[in-house]
Amino acid sequence: MEKFAGYGFNKSHSAAYALVSYQTMWLKAHDPAAFMAAVLSADMDNTDKVVMLIEECRQMALAVQPPDINRCMPKFTVADDGSVLYGLGAIKGVGIAALESVIEERERNGPFRDLFDFCRRIDLRKVNRRLLEALIRAGALDRLGPNRATLMASLPAAIQTAEQFHQNQSAGVSDMFGFDAPQPDEALVDFVHEKGWPDKLRLQGEKETLGLYLTGHPIDRYEAELERFVSCRLADLSPDRNQTVIVAGLVVAVRTMNTKRGDKIAFVTLDDRTGRVETAVFSEGYQKYRDLLVKDKVLVVEGTVSVDDYSGGFRMSSDHVYEFEQARERFAKRLEISIGPEQAANGFVDSLGQILRPFNEGGCPVWLDYVGRGAKAKLVLGNEWQVRPTDELLMRLGELAGNGRVNLIYA
């Protein structure tokens, strides 16, 4: 190696690369927000690169603000508080030319007030409906309405109102007797109000348009339950060859390889927001669980942890792999529903049976915890009423019994 270094890479190249390396390291150390904004802008057409660099920002404890049509520019920029403002041009399906026309209007006439004001002021010949939907799913229009579901439901009316406004302006239409009537741009057009999207749908929209989950993590909605049966968070994982651990995380990478015997094994990288770990799924497990080993799925893994002599970190060998709902059924002792006189009345028993029946092929027992005015009772339903505790079942039971009255009890 020393001999090759004398002639294989000439000194003029070495000196130039060394200087550039020093300059970029200095900028990253002393102006991290400006440096990362510039690097992200240089590669914002490459979603994979953007995802990797956003992760680098997180490891640097550098905040990245979500896209905002009233604050952000087409490229990544630096906010007054030192955080990085997301570049609108990094949103999939959004063209730079269309964004520049929107930014020009914003700078000329001020921030957009709401979705209707936004659609009325932009050039709908350049900014089409598909682009507007991408902006909504990415969260760039969050400040222009109550929630993303309402923005999406109100979009047709907003576009129609804007088109009518521009047609009237072009034709010079006015009401000769309507001196006191509000002008079209002042007319009150209400939103089509919808309940906000659940976290899963909201994050899915971000993943499709940004390539990553920016305002949350798919594991967040399971966090309270996970604390009851996982051994620890990934950041707290430590090796113990004699102990089985249970961890959970989002699959962020999967790679497979063939052994010398021709068997296939997989290496799955899990992320739970606190840290990451790579777990090996060997040939027998791979054949059994390969349909679960896909990116963006939340998995619960049971196995052993050891020190990786090659990387110096930890590695894990998986014995069992579960989808989250499978893990619920595997580790939950029972599903408990708390009811009082007000819940027990008005056909509660019939409604409960109708809800449980489509899910009663599982192995999770159902208990009713009744507290009345002068009595208490725990009622254990028969084995034929054991259920699969899916998200859908828990949601329906919550609507029947009330929020906070449906709980999974773990060992």
What would the two tokens of residue 38 be?
A: 């510039």
Mean pLDDT by 10 residues, the chain (411 residues): 74 87 96 97 91 90 95 96 95 91 96 95 92 96 96 95 87 53 53 91 93 89 89 84 85 91 91 88 92 93 84 82 92 92 80 93 92 90 93 92 89 77
On whether both 273 and 339 belong to a single domain, the answer is no
Both 146 and 230 in a single domain?
no
Return the pLDDT at 189. 66
Specify whether 322 is located in the same domain as 346.
no
- Is residue 316 located within the same domain as residue 390? no
Give the structural domain span for 29: 2-210
The neighbouring-strand residues paired with 286 are: none
Q: Which of 155, 175, 210 finishes a domain?
A: 210
Q: What is the pLDDT of residues 155-197, one digit of tens each?
A: 999 999 999 888 888 777 654 444 444 444 444 568 999 999 9
Residue 216 included in any domain: no
Q: What is the mean pLDDT of the chain?
A: 89
Residue 215, domain member (yes or no): no
- Is the same domain home to 197 and 96? yes
pLDDT (0 to 100) of residue 311: 67
Residues 182 and 68 in one domain: yes
Residue among 64, 50, 65, 58 at smallest CA distance from 273:
58
User: Do the Cβ atoms of 386 and 362 come closer than 8 Å?
Assistant: yes
Whether 161 and 26 map to the same domain: the answer is yes
- List phi, psi (to 5°) of 252: -105, -15
Q: Are residues 312 and 373 in the same domain?
A: no
Give the separation between CA 206 and CA 216, rounded to whole angstroms. 10
What's residue 241's pLDDT? 59
Tens-place pLDDT, residues 181-237 = 444 444 456 899 999 998 889 999 999 999 889 888 899 888 888 999 999 988 888
Query: How many alpha carbons lie under 13 Å from residue 148 in its C-beta half-sphere?
Result: 20
Q: How far is CA 262 from CA 258, 281, 286, in A?
A: 6, 15, 13
Indicate the burial class of 47 (C-beta count within 10 angstroms; 0-12, 13-18, 19 or more).
Answer: middle
Residue that finishes a domain, picked among 309, 328, 347: 328
The tally of domains found in the chain comes to: 3
Token pair belonging to 28: 């990253």
Return contacts of 351-358, CB within 8 angstroms, 24+ apart.
351/400, 352/397, 352/400, 355/393, 355/396, 355/397, 355/400, 356/381, 356/385, 356/387, 356/393
Does residue 230 fall inside a structural domain?
yes
